[in-house]
Amino acid sequence: MSSLRVAMIGHAFMGAAHSQAWRVAPRFFDLPVDPVMQVLCGRDAARAAEAATRLGWEESSDDWRAVIAREDIDVVDICTPGDSHAEIAIAALAAGKHVICEKPLANSVLEAEEMTAAAEQAARQGVRAMVGFTYRRVPAVAFARQLVAEGRVGEVRHVRAQYLQDWIADPDAPLSWRLEKEKAGSGALGDIGAHIVDLTQFITGLSISEVSGQLETFVKERPIAAGATAGTLGGGGSGVERGPVTVDDAAVFLARFAGSTALGVYEATRFATGRKNAIRIEVNGSRGSLAFDFEDMNVLELFDADEPAGTAGFRRILVTEPEHPYVAAWWPAGHGLGYEHGFTHQVVDFVTAVAAGEQPTPSFADGLGVQRVLDAVETSSDTRSWQEISA
């Protein structure tokens, strides 16, 4: 195998990020095989053709089923809304294609279970599947995991995680697919809460086993954008046609972890005015603490509880040295990386694993684990009770 010919399904925000990653990865990293950006697929032929030219794909299509049936395609990269993940991924795996699927893995636990079963079946024939939790690939996050594994914080006692955005804080922001449960599965919980569930489990090595949560939708109806459709239309009294918001705007939950006494506190909201993409993770342990904020993504804060009180304090580590994860392929120390680099590192890890015949991470099984946490939080909010996470 000298190349991996890639078909990408979907070409909006995530499609653009994934396209850049496929373009850049082989130019900065010494990959075992070369990824080839073969075909981009979208629902509208004209828009797909324009996007393929703009994003660097060799050709385009408006028929994803025909694309995954092609013998000249090795990898299917799924960048569509969650309601189509299961159908596309299962079909691609059955066709013998390696799969990368954007997060969250699916819109329901049942779909995620079916996808995981399909991935496990395909793996027996050497076909690999991975879910795209790209924030794992931020060098400071990968370094945090390394420090926890080395025992630098000792026994984990507290996990705090927030994902704060404000992009729909305006009540007149129009409806989009991300606000429709049928397409998105859930709102802030699944869209951004999934990331902090995955990140904290990745960094600590602990699995969430029990949750108690609350969901809230602050704005119940929104204007319908021109040319869009929604469910039952509401009033609003402004003369503007409005439709119902059927997902949560914010989610908060407490968590316990399997085999640990650690406590977890989680918050995901798209109504934190002034916060654009604040992913904040703090881990407190018996020997020290780690803190990370994506809005300062090249920095990791480390506190060593063994230091004398007179000089102890959080130390700011600029994670841009060649010995830090992924960084050696990029710029000199101090020349920071950005949001897009996580997607490049995802391609690097995926291609390297596939070429070696190994399982890339996070697997569909890992994605299913996150899906079970999301489902338990939603059930907890509905029933006002603690919910255990099924193994």
Rounded Cα–Cα distance for residues 186 and 217 (Å): 11
What strands lie across the sheet with 34-41, from one edge to the other? 59-61, 34-41, 3-9, 75-78, 98-102, 129-132
b/e per residue 59-74 (b: at least 16 CB within 10 A): ebbeebeebbeeeebb
In this prediction the pTM is 0.94
C-beta neighbour count of 225 within 10 angstroms: 14
Tens of pLDDT, residue by residue over 139-171, are 999 999 999 999 999 999 999 999 999 999 999
Tens of pLDDT, residue by residue over 205-256, are 999 999 999 999 999 999 997 655 444 334 444 567 999 999 999 999 999 9
User: Cis omega before residue 26 (within 30°)?
Assistant: no
Rounded Cα–Cα distance for residues 212 and 207 (Å): 15
Confidence of residue 306 (pLDDT cuts 50, 70, 90): very high
Helix ranges (DSSP H) in 71-108: 85-94
Nearby residues of 9 by Cβ (< 8 Å), 6 or more positions away: 41, 42, 64, 67, 76, 77, 78, 79, 80, 88
In this structure, which CATH number among 3.90.226.10, 3.40.50.10860, 3.30.360.10, 3.30.43.10 belongs to the domain 139-296+298-337? Answer: 3.30.360.10
Nearby residues of 11 by Cβ (< 8 Å), 6 or more positions away: 19, 40, 41, 42, 47, 48, 51, 52, 55, 79
Tens of pLDDT, residue by residue over 19-52, are 999 999 999 999 999 999 999 999 999 999 999 9
pLDDT of residue 168: 94
Tens of pLDDT, residue by residue over 63-97, are 999 999 999 999 999 999 999 999 999 999 999 99
**What percentage of the chain reaches a pLDDT higher than 70?**
96
Lowest mean pLDDT among 42-56, 168-182, 294-308, 373-387: 168-182
CATH top-level class for 3-135?
alpha beta
Nearby residues of 312 by Cβ (< 8 Å), 6 or more positions away: 303, 304, 305
Q: Where do the structural domains in the chain lie, given as residue ranges?
A: 3-135, 139-296+298-337
Rounded Cα–Cα distance for residues 193 and 377 (Å): 10
Cβ pair 262, 158 in contact under 8 A: yes
pLDDT of residue 282: 98
Cβ pair 94, 117 in contact under 8 A: no
Q: What value does the mean pLDDT of the chain take?
A: 95
